[in-house]
Structure 1
């Protein structure tokens, strides 16, 4: 069944478990898989499901997110009618108190002007492929008021409901103490019919440093990669023109994702290397995530490390983390003359 849907992405969620990775960016704009941001996955799922009207509700720190999204053209949302809309809060006191419903309600005009009958409300940190057309079909078949998407029984903070019901929830959220749809779904006081849709494909929530690190390295498994990145439902992102990666004589790369624009002279194994990274001669990178424009000089050894953007690791430095506690190196930092573990 084909019905119009309005897409809402709640990008206000932040966790304090990412160390410095989210100190200067929102969770939604956290780099992932070599060339993407976390928000790309849910945004692409909506576009691939035929949704042409998407609103992103953000927190206060949005510079990196706005730089990434621009006009929405990369997702075919740079439109004269509908398209991509970004709403930032006017102040944070009410948002902190009442959650996303307060943020939504402050932009009631947007909802009233939209022509879509149903609404998908989703988070910004789920990685995987979701077909919202299938979920909407089930929602209509069951006659549910709200359909909650779950995976292995665990909520994905993603819902489908009618816009009429959503607007009515806005009007009573303070009185009923509903901060968001999750509160509504898991409250036994109302008489709403709640349906749960079990999504059986690969899906994961990036809600802590460990899940970010592990889910990133899981992509090195072909069975996982093929479920996340499909030809029929591509994950779209901001395009950046970079030359192909250059592999110098003596370099070795095994079981890794290497983005474009890199210069590889050393060895890379079981790692994810973002755009425009330079890895010097004799350097060894294992089980690590190296973000955009990092420079790793000669004879370094990095194992179990997350290197944020623009970091520099000097000659001969050794840095070691673990699967449970990867070592995080802050954006733009310079590491010289001492080993870390």
Structure 2
């Protein structure tokens, strides 16, 4: 493909609460065996984008470890490859990334030394499958300066987390309302863009010269009446996991057969870093229904409508309902968990009882004990 890729994976969001204390949002576990960033990386690889940069910043250690080898997404090659850019103190800059546009500006050499005519920019917290070639074809057909991938949302409960767009029948975007308090609009930006590389360099340098740092506010919104910005409508599954509610809902979507089949049984595939772990073990008395149980788990109790990530221990007579249990957690005997998210590495003591009301309850080592 005649494009390079950039994945923006450096941000943090207070809507994730304690879940983002340990890791970047792009490193959040999804669907039992994946990280959120695996979806954008797989889409890049499947679209034959051979050169991809991941820009990281906040709590980047877990994400950087996950990206330590590019072979899992087939970027280990002589031409192109996978690049990870973190903030670096230089003679010209001693700042952390001050925004999405600034993160691009501080890594402008990546754009200037590339030769591909186009750039595909994606966020690291989107769960979806997409052939970016189709977006590029649409971009060229419309003779657009910038193309945004947009999605019509039926669930409006968190609509104000997104940038909302107004479009003409031809697809031209006429207005962008970034994270409004109130709106009647329902078409959101997914954080995926296609733009000509030379134009992106020009816009980023212009923004930096004016001390502007945000890609949406200082480029997209500022130039919406000057540059031709078009919207490419995404009709298939898409979700953004940057809040506790959306993270929980997205994982629970994978308990639906049609969603699982779409991501895991229909070409192209989603790839991730693979660990050598034994298959899950179900001991005598274990009962599991409508759940995803990953490798390395040992189950003694009852699991209903839940997702267990890798290396989870479920104690005798314990009940786990409508829960997400992250890697390396230990659930003691005779415990009852419902509508909870258990943080990785946590120990839930025996004979305890937790139930989330409304929004999922986040549990870790410091959670109060209830009997």
The alignment's TM-score, normalised by the length of structure 1, stands at 0.93
Deviation of residue 175 (structure 1)?
A: 4.6
SS at 1:328's partner residue?
A: strand
Equivalent-residue separation in structure 1 for 2:224 and 2:127 (angstroms): 32
Q: Deviations over 1:60-89 (max 9, x none)?
A: 431101111112111111222210001111
Deviates further, 58-67 or 263-272: 58-67
CA contact (8 A) 2:57 2:97 kept: no
CA contact (8 A) 2:329 2:344 kept: yes
Q: Deviations over 1:228-254 (max 9, x none)?
A: 334311111110011111111111111
Match of 2:361 in 1: 327
Q: Deviations over 1:39-59 (max 9, x none)?
A: 111111111111110001111
Match of 1:201 in 2: 236
> Mind listing any 5+ residue stretches in structure 2 that lack a counterpart?
153-186
Which of the numbers 210, 218, 222 marks the counterpart of 2:245? 210
- The answer to whether 1:270 aligns with 2:305 is yes
Deviates further, 104-113 or 245-254: 104-113
CA contact (8 A) 1:313 1:334 kept: no
Q: Deviations over 1:141-177 (max 9, x none)?
A: 1100000001101101110011011111121013556
Q: CA RMSD in A?
A: 1.9
CA gap 1:218/1:300 in 2 versus in 1, 3 angstroms: same
CA contact (8 A) 2:318 2:335 kept: yes
CA gap 1:281/1:189 in 2 versus in 1, 3 angstroms: closer
Which of the numbers 52, 55, 60 marks the counterpart of 1:54? 52
Match of 2:80 in 1: 82
Q: Deviations over 1:75-122 (max 9, x none)?
A: 11122221000111126974554x122222222222122121110011
Match of 1:144 in 2: 144
Deviates further, 173-182 or 201-210: 173-182
CA contact (8 A) 2:320 2:338 kept: yes
Equivalent-residue separation in structure 1 for 2:194 and 2:22 (angstroms): 32
Deviation of residue 329 (structure 1)?
A: 1.2
Match of 2:70 in 1: 72
- The answer to whether 1:118 aligns with 2:118 is yes
Match of 1:255 in 2: 290
Q: What is the total number of aligned residue pairs between the two structures?
A: 333
Deviation of residue 227 (structure 1)?
A: 2.6
CA contact (8 A) 1:312 1:334 kept: no
CA contact (8 A) 2:29 2:36 kept: yes
Which of the numbers 292, 302, 321 marks the counterpart of 2:337? 302
> Mind listing any 5+ residue stretches in structure 1 that lack a counterpart?
none
Match of 2:179 in 1: none
- The answer to whether 1:316 aligns with 2:316 is no
The alignment's TM-score, normalised by the length of structure 2, stands at 0.85
CA contact (8 A) 1:125 1:207 kept: yes
